[in-house]
Each structure stands twice: as C-alpha cells, then as structure tokens.
Structure 1
Amino acid sequence: MLNAQSTQIARSRLLAIMAFLSGLSLLPFAPSPSLYAQNLDARAIAFAVQQQLVQAIEKSEKSVVAISKIKTKRQQIQSRIPAPFGLDPNQGLNLSQDPKNLNFIPNEFGAGVLIPDPTGQNRVLILTNYHLTEGGPVAGKKTNPENRIFVHAANQLGFYAELIAADPRSDLAVLTPAKGLPNRSTRALSPIKYGNTEAIRKGQFVIALGNPYAIARDGSPSASWGIVSNFHRYPVPIFKNFLNQELDKEETLHHFGTLLQVDTHLDLGTSGGALLDLDGNLIGVTTSLAALEGYEKSTGFAIPIDQATLRIINSLAAGMEPEYGFLGIHPLTIEQSQARHLFTRNTVLLEPYYVVAKSVKPHSPAQLAGMLPDDLILSIEGQKLTRDFDLMREVGKAGAGKEVKLQILRGKKPRELTLTVKLGKWPVADDEGIVQTQFHHPLWRGLRVDYPTARKKYTFSPFSYPPAVVVTHVAPESPAQQAGLKEGNFISHFNDQAVRLPDSFYQEAQKANNSPVTLQLLDGRKVILSPQEAIKKQ
C-alpha cells in the first residue's frame, strides 16, 4: 500500500537520479567526437536502476513477514507514537479479535525475516528484534505468556509463533511456528539469502522492507530505499565509566557503535525488517528503537549482518544464549598529549586519540595474556583503535572463548608487543531478559557451571575476576544439591585440578566417569559429589 507522501518521495528520488545522470552526460569532457557520440541516456539508466530495485524487492519480499504482538490481558497501552490510519489499540475500534482478519489491530507491531536454518533441520525460523518479542511465549514452556506473537506471511498465510531464543544485548530474537505447519505452507516460506556486509560503502543503495504502522498485515511488506549514510553509529550518547557500561542492563552491544545508519524512511513498525542490497540479499535488520530514544524520526538504523552478527544468529537459532567477549580491564580514551607523557619524548605518536589500559584485573584474561597497566592498546585483530568503545565493541563481538591478537605499546623505552588473549565472558546484567531453550553445557550431576563473570548478580563489588567457574544452576534432589552446592558458588578445583573455564570443568567431569569427585570452592570449602546412581540407591 502506498500513501501520497510515499509516492511523492519515490517520484522525487527518481527525478533526482535522472537529473544527476543527465548532469553526467553534460560534463565538459575533452572535445572528442567519439565521446560525444557515447553520451549517456540518463532516462534509460534511471529505468535500469528502477528495474534493479524492482527485481531485488521481488526476490526477497516473500521472505519478510509482519509481526503482531498481542496482549493476553487487555490493558491500556502507553504509546509515545502517533497513530495514523486509526491504529490506536486504546480506542476500542477493533472490528475483529482474529489476527488473520485485516480489521484486527495489534497492540504492538513490527517485522521479521525468514532465515536459513544453520542447524540443517530445515525449520521455519524468523529473525526479528528482541524488543518486539519481549514477554512472548517460549518453545517448550507451558507458562502463560504476557503476550502472544502472530506472524503474517506472504499469500495471507498466518500463524502463532514462539521464541527459540532471545538476546537483549544484541536486540535480536529467533521465532518458530508454535505448531507444525502443513508441508505446502512450509514450502511457501522461503528463507532469505545473506549478502556481503564486508563490501558495504557509504553511499551504497539499500532497500528496506518492513511493516510500518502495521500496514503489512496482509503479508505484503512495504518498501523504501535510500543509501548507507554511515557506519559504527550509536543509538544514544552514553557517558558512564567503562565497568558500568559493561555491567549495565540497559546497555546493549550497539551502544558501543555497531549500527549502520541509513537514510531510508523507517517509521515505527519497521523494527525487525530487512535491509537489502541491490541484489536483494540481506545485509541488515532494521530497527526503529533508536527513534524512540530521542533521534529524529527520519533517521534509520540497522544491525549489520556481519560475521559477528551471524555468530549471534546461529546461537539463537540453536536455542542458546549468545556469549560476548570480556577482557577484564578498565580501558580509557586519552589524547595524544596524554599518551606522550607515558613514553619517552622521541616516541612517534601521531594519532589524536589512543586507548590505554588504566587497570588490569587480577586473574582476568588480559592479565593471563600478559597485559599490564598503562599498556597502550593500538589494535585488535589488525583493526586500529581510537577510543575505548572501539575496543569494547570488537571484544564483545568476538565472543567468549575466542582468541584475539592485541597490538600494544609498552614501557618508558617503548616497544610494540603482540598479546594473544583468550577472552572471558561479558557479564549478563539482564538475566531475566535472556531466553534460551538449550544450553552450551548439559547438567552434570545436577550441576551447571559457566564463566566466573557469566552473570552480574554473582560478581563481586568492587568488581574482581575470580580464578574459578561459577555455579549457575543446581537441580532439585540431585547430587549437587545433596552436597550443599548453591547457585553463585565458585568452584576453583576439580579433584585438585584448577578449573577457570567451563570447558576445563567439563573435561575433568568426563574423566570422572562414575566415581565420587571432590570440588574445592573459592572460599576454601571442599564438597564431595557422588554419582547420580549412588543418590538413587539411598
């Protein structure tokens, strides 16, 4: 559906391109008859661009769905947005309670993208924004959710969906149909193809497909187009110290500058939509959340589908919590003059800003790799750093357990060093916000452990990095519970073998077979964990 304003915008943009291309044909080239004979036909080129847009939209529009979020209990919706077309859920004008009926007005709305199943199971998977699905039903759980989620697909196919996994830090979630769909319907739901975000440049044409103001409830997403305006954008300014940023539940990975800025028209309801290149391939997930946080309505943002985002998507599709990297230092952005005070005067420091390790936490991944306070961190994995947010972003994107190379400058007689750091895990602040239906590690004797910084609620104040793993779950009536273990306990040794990583713990657990084991806690206590069979016999 098109309104008059959208039609006028599209027409003006096409005329602008034609005028631009016409200008190209009139540039004062050297007076060569052969060049004059090859003057560009601006109108033909404009129509070629138009045809490319049409083909790209036709290729991928059936892979973009509209999403309706429906409150299970009727309540007033506090909305900060205008309600065009009468789409105000508080007016009581709903002519239907059936979400398949076009007269149905959802409480909240957005879009989603059908994606390939990375596990090879050929499931129907829908990628969307976390904030659009918050409070929705979770696969395998029988609790009454706060909201129901309805998906409007192409050819007016509609179905209820549930969460496989959701992650507030990336603002991404993956849905699947709540009930099995007929094979005919499944075949009609074709997943989108991923594009190459490494080649994205400023000024590149992009296409956005979404569900502005719930207008795509018939399964036909609305299209807009524009250019990539910038990279590494921040949704809102933040002025907090590093450790608070790392541990604050309100902050996401995107607050460290991950977003694409585009000049496409992204109204509310385009959250979770597709950002396409001119080949119709997915290069980003659009979000209108930034507009809610104080930016102009016309400013658009998208989460780029790069390798780091694909890692997150694959974790969510597997039902697991995505894990983010953690160094365990307090970095600080300093000016060139401040950096020169740390080194001898003849040191060549040409950049206006640098990142310095103000402090390094004992037992942290950074300290284990040999990092010292006052080290100047020049780059990570070959990418130059100009501020602490750059370091935070790249460390977080790399993921827990990943080895990264840091180039540093050290000493009064400075020398460049390369440190290889095996990253820890960024502490999860919003524990309740994470949705997962699978876990990275199974229960072992009723026990599940994770990185010592896995959850903010288990960390110490002031912050420190324990040389241990933390207990995140104890099953009722299990050997772990019988031994007196509780969530938040830190385990430093397994049968006298030091364990600092969950992988190390589970490797030792495999060696134990059915034998009793001795676990030493960080406070010095020791507990004996019997096999499950021994508990059953008792």
Structure 2
Amino acid sequence: MRTATSSCLVVRVLGLIGCAAVAAAQEPRGIALLQEMERAIGGVIERCERSVVSIARTPQTPEQLLGAPGAPERITPAQRLLFQNQRSLPGVLGGMQLSRDAPLQPSGAGVVIDKSGLILTQYLVVRLGETHVVTDATGGRYLAKIVAADPRSGLAVLAVERPFRAKGQAELPDFQPLPLGEAETLGKGRFVVAIGNPFSIETDGQPTASWGAITNTALKAPRDENLNDITSAIDGSYRTTLHHFGSLMQTDARLGWNASGGALVSLEGELVGVLTTAATIAGHEQPAGYAIPLNRAMRRAVETMREGLEPEYGLLGVNFDQVAFVNARTGRRGVGVKTVFTGGPAQVAGIRGGDLLLSVDDQPLRTPESLQLIVGSLPPDQTVRVAYERASKVDEAEVTLAKAYIPQGQVVSRRPTAWRGIRVDYPTAIPSGVLLQRSQDGHLDPQGCVVVSEVEEGSVSWKSGVRPYSFVSHVSGRRVHTPNEFYAAVRDAKENVKLKFTKPLPAVPAAPVIPGAAKAPK
C-alpha cells in the first residue's frame, strides 16, 4: 500500500506526544501513542481502500475496445496511443486486440456506495455517450453506465453492468460499499483519510492514501473553476454549482492532481466527501486538498441520483443585489431584494422589492452567495422562515420554496411517464428569461399551479393545443401545486380529465378536455 502522510500533521502529532524536551521515561509512552494512531489510520485505509475504484471513459464501444471480430472498427496501434496512452502489443499490423491486463487511461476515481455496484464520483469524471470502464483494486474490470449526473452538485452515479469481457449477462460480485457519513457534523481539526489515485489502482491494484485534518468547511470554488463543464448564462463563468457559493471542504490530506472522484473518509470509515482537484483558492496554500462534502444537501442529491432521478433544488423567487448591504441607520446586514417574481414564493409570502433579507431559518445572510447556498441546499416545497427588514423594521415571513431551473447537463435514467403526452414540473423550473416574461404576464397563479415542461408532438395533448410553458392550476376542479399533485389528480380522475390553464391556450378553449381514462405515472 502506498500511503502518503502529511508532514505538518506528523509534527502536530509529535507535538502532542512530546518533543526532544520530553524526559526519557516518557518516550516509550509517546511512541506507543503514535503507534496506536498509526494502527487506527492504517485500519481505516485497509477497510476502505477496496471501495475506491478507477474510472476510464472512451468514445469507443466495448467491441472496439476489445477488438472483437465483427466490430465496426479495430483498434490500431496509433488509436491505442491516442485514446488510451498505453503500449501496443505484438501482433498483426493494422489491428491489435487490447490485452487482458493493459491499463486504460483513467478519467478519475469513484467510490462504491452499494454492493450491487453503484459508484459515486465527480461529475467531470463521466461523459454521456461514452463507454465507461471501472477497475477495482482486485484487477476486476467492468462496464458501467451512467445512472444520473447532476451539474448543480458536481456529482454523478454509475452502475456496474457486467464484467468487461463477459458476453451477455454475467454474475457480478458483491462490491464493498462505504456508508455515507454526515459531513455537516465535522469541524476544523477532525482527522480524515483521503483515498484515490486511479492511475495507481489501474497499474498496481492499490489506491494511494493520505491522512490529515479538516482545515475549512465553507470554501468557495473560484468563479473560473470548472466543476461541471457548464457556464453561467449571466456572466459566462463556471459559477454553476453550489460549491461556488461556499460549501467546499478543505483538508491537508493530499493525493496529487488526479484525485477527482476519490474518497474522503472519517476515522469511523464513513464517506464524508468526494475529492476534487479544485484549483488554488485565493488565500490558501496551493497543495491543499478539496472535497465536495456529503452534507445534508449532497446526501439528498446522491440518494435521488442512485434511483436514476433528478435532484431538485429550492428557489426563493427574487432578483437580488450582487453585493451585501448594510443599513447605515440600523447596522443590519443582509441581501437587498431588487424585484420578486409575480406569483413566486417570495411574492406570495409578502416579500417586496426593496426589502433587506437578513436570515433564512436563523442562518444569517452575510453575502449574496450565502443566500444562494442556503436556499439552493433545500428541496422545493419546503417551508422556511425568512427574516427581512423594511423601513428599518424587522419582520418575518414563511416561504414555501419553489424549484430552481437547471439549464443543461443533467442526466437521468428515470423520468415520470408522460400523461397523454404531457410532463409537468414546478412552475419556476423553466428558463429564467421565460419565467420572467410569464411572471410579468400573470401566468403564475399565486394560489398554486404547475408548468407543462414537455409535450410529445403528435400526442392527444399536442393536438388539443397544449404547448410547453403553459401553466395548469386545476385538474378536473382540483387545485394542483406540485408535479406529484398533478399526477395524483389525473390518476384519481374517473372520467375525461379537464385541465384548467392559468391563461387561455391559443386557438383552443381555456379548459381543454383530454379524452380517455387517466393512468398513473410509473
């Protein structure tokens, strides 16, 4: 096992057990304490390292990788060097098969989170449309598919499908998963172990390990740090994850530049973070290690993705100032509201433009980023207490959050079954420009509605004139506030279903009747 230790932590531990000034009679006890710590850390590494895997991806199909007869293309020596950066084997010129033990070029590491072969990794490690190959510490190699990938969390989940060389269905081993820990309970100074290095897993069958202490729990990724290949439509930066608003964990346990997707584990052997190779953050040392913490918001995202579903994030429904504001008269600090979306959560709760938001659920809003992080870490349909200042007086409102729109990059393997060609979502889960226009035009019903997010062309709903970004407030007289309420209403309807739209549809009645009995979404 290759174990890299942090020199600064060694000094700290030695300081705990004594230094050169310690009396000779105390030295054996100090050595014993150090050996006990070594055994504890070594035990954590030994238990957890089998759960860390290497992930490689390639645009080639499995058949092309294997050079199987009848494959659309054979792998030439030049292609092998280009795509896999590995040695060519002796053989017939023009097409050589990949050797059974030839290492692939990994894109990152991953962590097993279910014995069936579910693997958690960083978003950038995977890519839709490519072949993914997982290699474990025993040398086992498997084909895997993307179950879900979420650019907002910067995380993705793969599922092992079959052994790399198996033809058809083949039995898979029970993989060794790591339990998910609660990163929000860990503070500065807590010891953690980092395990990763996919190159070492590929070539040696052993990940690299390091140990250290948590040094920060609320770092912001730099605005130009790419954690998901998605840029902001507002300023073109990469500030499109929650981690750009201040959620990254910093540790002095370091593995090197290709740590992406590796495991950060507690001394209890629980997965508390997914390693990421974020660039140097201003004011912090360059060699520091960073991890996406598995706090409450990230665990919720992971549990959703492991089911193949889309993680959802809360939305307050306000346009706010980009800098914090301090009321010179009262001294109160917060985030200023420019405008509110008509029919959105904040407006319904009584918040207005010009208000100064002070806190959400007693968490102070010191910066605009803190507002985005706190609200974005909560699920839609959750009610929060928002304290605000208006005319130098403090008041409080209960706001039921809506859903933030993720413009691109989400990958899911399970979607709600379309009902009569319709899929619906929370009313705010549409592009910001469309939401602003629809809000100004009064499409969002303050009493509750859902938005038609998709209509299958040629379906009965399409023929009835239903189009995306139409808003439905009632199903056969029953008010609907959420997608689940909509699908339950159409499922429970006994006759033809009558949809009430918040605005008349072009060239069709305001309440079209969709023929046929309703069916529940799968």
Fold shared by both chains (TM-score > 0.5): yes
1:259 aligns with 2:266: no
Which residue is 2:70 aligned to?
A: none
Q: Deviations over 1:264-287 (max 9, x none)?
A: 224333211100112221110111
1:48 aligns with 2:36: yes
1:506 aligns with 2:487: yes
Aligned 8 A contact 1:99 1:150 in 2: no
Aligned 8 A contact 2:221 2:281 in 1: no
Letter in 2 for 1:282: L
Aligned 8 A contact 1:153 1:218 in 2: no
Which residue is 2:123 aligned to?
A: 130
Letter in 2 for 1:103: A
Which residue is 2:104 aligned to?
A: 105
Q: How does 1:459-474 map to 2 (within 5 A)?
A: 459-460=434-435, 464=439, 466-467=443-444, 468-474=449-455
SS of equivalent to 1:330: strand
1:327 aligns with 2:316: yes
SS of equivalent to 1:186: coil
Aligned 8 A contact 1:166 1:435 in 2: yes
Aligned 8 A contact 1:67 1:109 in 2: yes
1:429 aligns with 2:407: yes
Q: Deviations over 1:368-405 (max 9, x none)?
A: 12212233322222222211111111111101122222
Letter in 2 for 1:399: P
Return 509-518 or 291-300, whichever deviates more: 291-300
Q: How does 1:86-235 map to 2 (within 5 A)?
A: 89=82, 93-95=86-88, 101-106=100-105, 108-116=106-114, 123-135=116-128, 145=129, 147-179=130-162, 185-187=172-174, 189-213=175-199, 215-235=201-221
Aligned 8 A contact 2:9 2:213 in 1: no
Aligned 8 A contact 1:212 1:266 in 2: no
Q: How far apart are the structure 2 equivalents of 1:331 and 1:324?
A: 18
Q: Deviations over 1:287-313 (max 9, x none)?
A: 114469999762321111111111100
- The alpha-carbon distance between structure 1 residues 226 and 524, as it changes in their structure 2 partners (threshold 3 A), is same
Letter in 2 for 1:114: V
SS of equivalent to 1:491: strand
1:287 aligns with 2:276: yes
Match of 1:392 among 352, 366, 372: 372
Aligned length: 476
- The alpha-carbon distance between structure 1 residues 449 and 51, as it changes in their structure 2 partners (threshold 3 A), is same
Q: How far apart are the structure 1 equivalents of 2:480 and 2:237?
A: 28
- The alpha-carbon distance between structure 1 residues 89 and 263, as it changes in their structure 2 partners (threshold 3 A), is farther
Letter in 1 for 2:146: L
Which residue is 2:72 aligned to?
A: none
Quote how far apart the aligned CAs of 1:531 are.
Answer: 2.8
Runs of 5+ consecutive residues of structure 2 not aligned to the other structure: 65-79, 90-95, 226-231
Aligned 8 A contact 1:152 1:218 in 2: no
Runs of 5+ consecutive residues of structure 1 not aligned to the other structure: 28-34, 75-86, 117-121, 136-144
Which residue is 2:515 aligned to?
A: 531
Quote how far apart the aligned CAs of 1:153 are.
Answer: 1.3
Match of 1:448 among 409, 418, 423: 423
Which residue is 1:300 aligned to?
A: 289
Letter in 1 for 2:126: T
Q: How far apart are the structure 2 equivalents of 1:474 and 1:224?
A: 51
Quote how far apart the aligned CAs of 1:437 are.
Answer: 1.5
- The alpha-carbon distance between structure 1 residues 63 and 104, as it changes in their structure 2 partners (threshold 3 A), is closer
Q: How far apart are the structure 1 equivalents of 2:99 and 2:472?
A: 52
> 1 or 2, which has the higher helix percentage?
1
Which residue is 1:78 aligned to?
A: none
- The alpha-carbon distance between structure 1 residues 39 and 383, as it changes in their structure 2 partners (threshold 3 A), is farther
Quote how far apart the aligned CAs of 1:458 are.
Answer: 7.3
SS of equivalent to 2:264: strand
- The alpha-carbon distance between structure 1 residues 88 and 134, as it changes in their structure 2 partners (threshold 3 A), is same
1:438 aligns with 2:424: no
Letter in 1 for 2:356: L
1:380 aligns with 2:379: no
- The alpha-carbon distance between structure 1 residues 125 and 18, as it changes in their structure 2 partners (threshold 3 A), is closer
- The alpha-carbon distance between structure 1 residues 246 and 255, as it changes in their structure 2 partners (threshold 3 A), is farther
Q: Normalising by the residue count of structure 1, what TM-score does the alignment of the two structures yield?
A: 0.78
Match of 2:501 among 520, 526, 535: 520
Match of 2:349 among 369, 383, 390: 369
SS of equivalent to 1:398: coil
SS of equivalent to 2:371: helix
Match of 1:487 among 449, 454, 468: 468
Quote how far apart the aligned CAs of 1:356 are.
Answer: 2.6
Aligned 8 A contact 1:445 1:478 in 2: yes
Aligned 8 A contact 2:219 2:247 in 1: yes
SS of equivalent to 2:309: coil
Q: Deviations over 1:39-84 (max 9, x none)?
A: 883222222211111011111111111111123189xxxxxxxxxx
- The alpha-carbon distance between structure 1 residues 516 and 372, as it changes in their structure 2 partners (threshold 3 A), is closer
Return 378-387 or 87-96, whichever deviates more: 87-96
Aligned 8 A contact 1:98 1:104 in 2: no
Quote how far apart the aligned CAs of 1:200 are.
Answer: 1.1
Return 370-379 or 159-168, whichever deviates more: 370-379
Letter in 1 for 2:243: H
Q: How far apart are the structure 2 equivalents of 1:36 and 1:224?
A: 31
Quote how far apart the aligned CAs of 1:260 are.
Answer: 0.5
Aligned 8 A contact 1:55 1:280 in 2: no
Aligned 8 A contact 1:376 1:408 in 2: yes
- The alpha-carbon distance between structure 1 residues 436 and 287, as it changes in their structure 2 partners (threshold 3 A), is same
- The alpha-carbon distance between structure 1 residues 161 and 368, as it changes in their structure 2 partners (threshold 3 A), is same
Quote how far apart the aligned CAs of 1:244 are.
Answer: 5.9
- The alpha-carbon distance between structure 1 residues 398 and 318, as it changes in their structure 2 partners (threshold 3 A), is same
SS of equivalent to 2:162: coil
- The alpha-carbon distance between structure 1 residues 303 and 14, as it changes in their structure 2 partners (threshold 3 A), is closer
Letter in 2 for 1:159: Y
Return 193-202 or 160-169, whichever deviates more: 193-202
